Structure 1
Amino acid sequence: MKIPRFADLILFENDDVIVVNKPPFISTLDERGDGSSEINMLRLAKGYSADAQICHRLDKETSGALIIAKNPEAYRNVSIQFEKRKVNKVYHAIIEGTHVFDNLLVDLPILNTGKGHVSISRQDGKRAETWFSSLKYFKHYTLVECRPVTGRMHQIRIHLATQQAAIAGDDMYRAKPVFLSQLKRKYHLGKDQEELPIMKRFALHAYEVTFKPNTEESITIHAPYPKDFETLLKLLDKFDS
């Protein structure tokens, strides 16, 4: 995989913080217990700004807006905003099936069961809330806006799965990848060719973040869709609307 230039990912920067559009397939931090030298967003950020610290996590496959502090004071400021739930995050997801979510609140506690797995547990889980609104309908899929109030691991993914609306390509929650042959009639593969999915990951993108970069007013930064997400939407528009 081609390593991106950190400067090319920047959406906003001042003396205290940087907001980048994180590409898919790059971890936010070192993978837990992974001593490998695999590239991650923290290493890329430190190569650009020596004291850089990541303020929150995005799953490796998730693309989109990621806040990075350039100094300890800025890190403390943003961390407090996350703790007090003052940071507003908006994600876009392409989900299986046609679902009409009109400001639907999913309020189901999430238990981290370890090794990158979570489950819904009313007894032992931690409070988790996400709001969902449908943005665009296709015959077999829906583009959905997701607004998490809390920040639990896999929160959006598992909350959607509880609505029988798992994110396209999210095999952990039993969703299938999208293939062009499913959408396009009379689609023919060449002999001995193997068809690859339109997106090689689950279709989740951190679209927007609103926070206070210092003590001034809030700013809203929105992260354009990466190429794979945009391609899937264009093909759904063309063949599944």
Structure 2
Amino acid sequence: MTELSNYKKPPKTLTFRELIIHEDDNYVIISKPPFVSSLPERTKDKAISIQQMAKEEYDDIQLCHRLDKETSGALVLAKNSEAYRNMAIQFEDRQVKKEYHAVVNGVHDLDSISVFLPISVLKDGTAVRIDKTAGKLAETIFFTEKSFQKHTLVRCYPITGRMHQIRVHLQCLNAPIVCDPTYGGDFIYLSQIKRKFNLKMDTEELPLIKRVALHAHKIAFRDLTGSVVEFTAPYPKDFEALVKQLNKHSS
């Protein structure tokens, strides 16, 4: 297996301000980069988190939800208690609409395919499994955005918000996310998709993306006025480059 631990690090220079895609009196919506935790980790290296970065800019700001460390995309923070309560109620009532994009192994034709399978967290807390006896309700709806030679770009709509829900539900469809060995996802290499690929001697080929290829692309909710607002987080460089290569060599 390719060793990627040396590559799974946040950018050396990262400021909270450059992550913002929208700000008003009540909310800040950011595009979270990969390899940055939403909340502080219980590790010795004291890696920076989104929460820590936000607290340096605002006194009372709170995260309204989380994204996995490797997952990039739209993340909502509340600037006051009323705004936080507004979001908490919508999450509890499953009124927040989220759209994720994932690149998965294999070619799949998914047209409003719903996976309705309960999930339980493993004892060590690092992964989940399908558990029809004691698992918690979980549902995700999937659509094929674009098919390539050996991979598929998928739109994912989680109805519930369980840990690793999208990842394990895609595994159930035999469509694991690339670079996600926890749930059966293989790495993706240029040599797999490019004809007449030549690798220089004594050179190790690295994957086209060095993390779970999952991106929180859009989020929609009701603001304090009751109006529905929607925000889009553009693909980060690594995800954009992956899709570009798949498009380029998909003929």
TM-score w.r.t. the length of structure 2 is 0.92
Question: Once the 2 structures are TM-superposed, how far is the Cα of residue 36 of structure 1 from its aligned partner?
Answer: 4.1
Residue 2 of structure 1 pairs with residue 32 of structure 2 = no
Residue 197 of structure 1 pairs with residue 221 of structure 2 = no
Q: Indicate the SS of the match to 2:111.
A: coil
Q: What value does the CA root-mean-square deviation take over the aligned residues?
A: 1.2
Task: Tell me, in whole angstroms, the C-alpha distance in 2 between the residues paired with 1:224 and 1:140.
Answer: 24
Matches within 5 A, 1:215-230: 215-230=225-240
- Matched with 1:153 is 163
Aligned-partner residue type, residue 207 of structure 1: H
In structure 2, which of residues 131, 134, 137 is the aligned counterpart of residue 121 of structure 1? 131
- Matched with 1:40 is 49
In structure 2, which of residues 101, 107, 124 is the aligned counterpart of residue 98 of structure 1? 107
Matches within 5 A, 1:24-103: 24-31=34-41, 33-34=42-43, 36-103=45-112
Q: Indicate the SS of the match to 1:169.
A: coil
Question: Once the 2 structures are TM-superposed, how far is the Cα of residue 112 of structure 1 from its aligned partner?
Answer: 1.2
Give identity over the alignment, percent: 49
Give the unaligned 5+ runs of structure 2. 1-10
Task: Tell me, in whole angstroms, the C-alpha distance in 2 between the residues paired with 1:161 and 1:213.
Answer: 34
Residue 20 of structure 1 pairs with residue 27 of structure 2 = no
Task: Tell me, in whole angstroms, the C-alpha distance in 2 between the residues paired with 1:11 and 1:191.
Answer: 43
Task: Tell me, in whole angstroms, the C-alpha distance in 1 between the residues paired with 2:142 and 2:233.
Answer: 19
Matches within 5 A, 1:149-188: 149-188=159-198
Matches within 5 A, 1:225-236: 225-236=235-246
Residue 137 of structure 1 pairs with residue 147 of structure 2 = yes
Q: Indicate the SS of the match to 1:103.
A: strand
TM-score w.r.t. the length of structure 1 is 0.96
CA contact (8 A) 1:62 1:202 kept: yes
- Superposed structure 1 runs of 4+ greater than 4 Å apart: none
Question: Once the 2 structures are TM-superposed, how far is the Cα of residue 35 of structure 1 from its aligned partner?
Answer: 5.2
Task: Tell me, in whole angstroms, the C-alpha distance in 2 between the residues paired with 1:169 and 1:37.
Answer: 25
Q: Indicate the SS of the match to 2:40.
A: coil
Question: Once the 2 structures are TM-superposed, how far is the Cα of residue 3 of structure 1 from its aligned partner?
Answer: 3.4
Aligned-partner residue type, residue 132 of structure 2: R
Q: Indicate the SS of the match to 1:230.
A: helix
CA contact (8 A) 2:99 2:217 kept: yes
Task: Tell me, in whole angstroms, the C-alpha distance in 2 between the residues paired with 1:154 and 1:59.
Answer: 8
Task: Tell me, in whole angstroms, the C-alpha distance in 1 between the residues paired with 2:40 and 2:102.
Answer: 25
- How many residue pairs match? The answer is 240
CA contact (8 A) 2:149 2:193 kept: no
Question: Once the 2 structures are TM-superposed, how far is the Cα of residue 162 of structure 1 from its aligned partner?
Answer: 0.4
